[in-house]
Amino acid sequence: MPAKTSEIRKVARSRFGYEALRPGQEEAIASLLEKRDTLVVQPTGAGKSAIYQIAGVMMHGVTVVVSPLIALQRDQVDSIRDQPHTSAAELVNSMQKTSERRQTLERVSAGEVEFLFLAPEQLQRQDTRETVRQAHPSLFVVDEAHCITEWGHDFRPDYLSLGDVIEELGHPAVLALTATAAAPVREVIIERLRMRDPRVLVHGFDRPNISLRADHFEREDDKLDALLKRLRWAERPGIVYTATRKTAEQLTASLVAADFQAVCYHAGLRAKERDAIHERFMSGTAEVIVATNAFGMGVDKSDIRFVYHYDISDSLDSYYQEIGRAGRDGEPAEAILFYRYANTGIRKFQAASTKLRPDKIERVVEALQEGAADTRELAEKAELSPRKTTLVLQRLEDVGGIRKTEDGVELVDAAAVPEIARAAAEQQAEFSKMQRERLERMEEYASLSTCRREYLLNYFGDGFKGPCGNCDNCGR
């Protein structure tokens, strides 16, 4: 056994209590110990956090972990603190008092913190970046790395700045983690994080305990009746996903009227309402949660017995991530898509809503002609939302039309404004085309007559040859 392998296993056992490592974990840890950038694509529950925990204690210097949700950060910190040999783990987020945040950063400066968890927004603050830079981190972890691409509902604009942050920190070893990322998404992650010759590890996508099925309907009433009948005998708890908030609310009302203990979750609810609903589902007092794709990230509930999609997902990436929340305890679970072709219109509309019209790009470019500015200033001048402005700036950066300065961003060549705007519009058109293609792959999955598991796993590059014996097509 190579010395590095032996040491990794020794640390995993003595520091964290792991008797054995899962497939892919040891390979990824060894890659990081060689200070090589590494992208790990593994389903939720496959042990991605163990990779940076073990590598972090074996590398000299603080490990910085960028995580998008405060609740997720807290869970990760608690997990580290609960290990047999506790490591110093701290978090910095917007919910803390100024004094708490300052004390944590002082501990980082003093070298007393082994793992520092924060949201990408915190790295927009100069004092945070400077503290982290002076701490000379050995490992920079980007959790939920798919948030860096606009192709997913989890897109977080502040993730786009992480590539700059990594370079400012002297480019420590970078570990990007995500549960679902097909080849195009992996390419975006690598490019945006400026990963250098990264090792890409794709493991463990096959979840043989989850049965796969797609039922087709002509009429909406038939689809609703089928869902209600299925829920009558389905083992619970479970999740029902919808494409819109309105459908989620209407469907929840139908389930409650049918005497199901159902709750509704979407981003339009107040934070306290969402927290209360989340807690009801996690504690078991609600047996069915009807939700948009706003629900799911960071959900760690092992006994979910089904994930039903009342509406088609926007991509196979989203679909597989969502159904992967079922059956994490290894017991049988099921994923059913209730497919009605007429319902695909909402997904096509949602995909089209991300388009950037040339006039919006021109408005941002014109605002930039007045001089360097940050995103908020530009959004006000261009009369666009900060999110839309961020997308425009990303397209402009993709075509080399802007550069970042201490004051924000500025045009590279103010005399070439029409050409820059046109190039950015063409770039966005290509992006929109790829988005449509992703939806088409999802539609293909819904209409398959061959093994569904084979189709899914090959999409993610995790080779599999059917029949799987646990999907509706193989069952026929």
Task: Give the count of domains, the chain.
Answer: 3
pLDDT reported for residue 78? 84
Domain, as residue range, for 284:
210-350
Kindly state whether residues 194 and 215 are assigned to the same domain: no
What is residue 433's predicted lDDT score, i.e. its pLDDT?
Answer: 81
Number of Cβ within a 10 Å radius of residue 57: 18
Indicate if 158 and 176 belong to the same structural domain.
Answer: yes
User: Nearest CA to 45 among 302, 291, 250, 304?
Assistant: 302
Do 289 and 415 lie in one domain? The reply is: no
Evaluate whether 62 touches 116 at the Cβ level (below 8 Å): yes
Q: What is the reported pLDDT for 70?
A: 77
Helix (H/G/I), strand (E/B), else coil: 178: strand
**255 and 370, same domain (yes or no):** no
- DSSP of 395-428: HHHHTT-EEEETTEEEES-GGGHHHHHHHHHHHH
Residues 228 and 250 in one domain: yes
The enclosing domain of 378 has a CATH number of: 1.10.10.10
State the Cα–Cα distance between residues 120 and 98, nearest whole angstrom: 18
Do residue 172 and residue 29 come from a single domain?
yes
Final residue in a domain of this structure, among 202, 232, 263: 202
Q: Domain check: are 270 and 337 in the same one?
A: yes
Q: Identify the residue whose tokens are 């029949």.
A: 467
Distance CA 104, CA 121 (A): 17
- Looking at the fold, whether 341 and 399 belong to one and the same domain comes out as no
Q: In what order do the strands lie in the sheet with 38-41?
A: 89-92, 115-118, 63-66, 139-142, 173-178, 38-41, 199-202
* Whole-number pLDDT of residue 52: 93
- pLDDT at position 355: 63
Q: Write down which residue in 202, 229, 254 finishes a domain.
A: 202
Q: Residues 59, 77: one domain?
A: yes
Both 185 and 322 in one domain: the answer is: no
C-alpha to C-alpha distance for 137 and 135, rounded to whole angstroms: 6
Mean pLDDT, consecutive 10-residue stretches, the chain (476 aa), reads: 74 82 87 95 78 91 89 81 75 84 89 90 87 94 86 68 92 91 86 94 86 96 96 96 95 96 93 90 94 83 95 90 90 96 78 69 82 78 82 80 75 75 79 84 95 93 87 92
| Judgement on whether residues 38 and 71 belong to the same structural domain of the protein | yes
Provide the whole-model pTM. 0.80
Q: Which residues pair with residue 290 across a beta bridge?
A: 240, 264
269 DSSP assignment: S
Cα torsion 136, 85, 91, 37 to 10°: value is 50
The continuous run of DSSP H or E covering 456 comes out as helix 452-459
| Strand-strand pairing, 288-291 and 262-265 | parallel
- Which of 350, 367, 389 terminates a domain? The answer is 350
Amino acid at 355: K
pLDDT number for residue 1: 43
DSSP state at residue 259:
T
In whole angstroms, what is the distance from residue 392 CA to residue 381 CA?
Answer: 14
Asked if residue 16 and residue 151 are part of one domain, the reply reads yes
Write 217-222 long-range contacts (CB < 8 A, 24+).
217/338, 217/339, 217/340, 218/340, 219/340, 220/340, 220/342
Of the chain, the end-to-end C-alpha distance in Å amounts to 47
Tokens coding 471: 């999907």
Residue 21 maps to which CATH number? 3.40.50.300
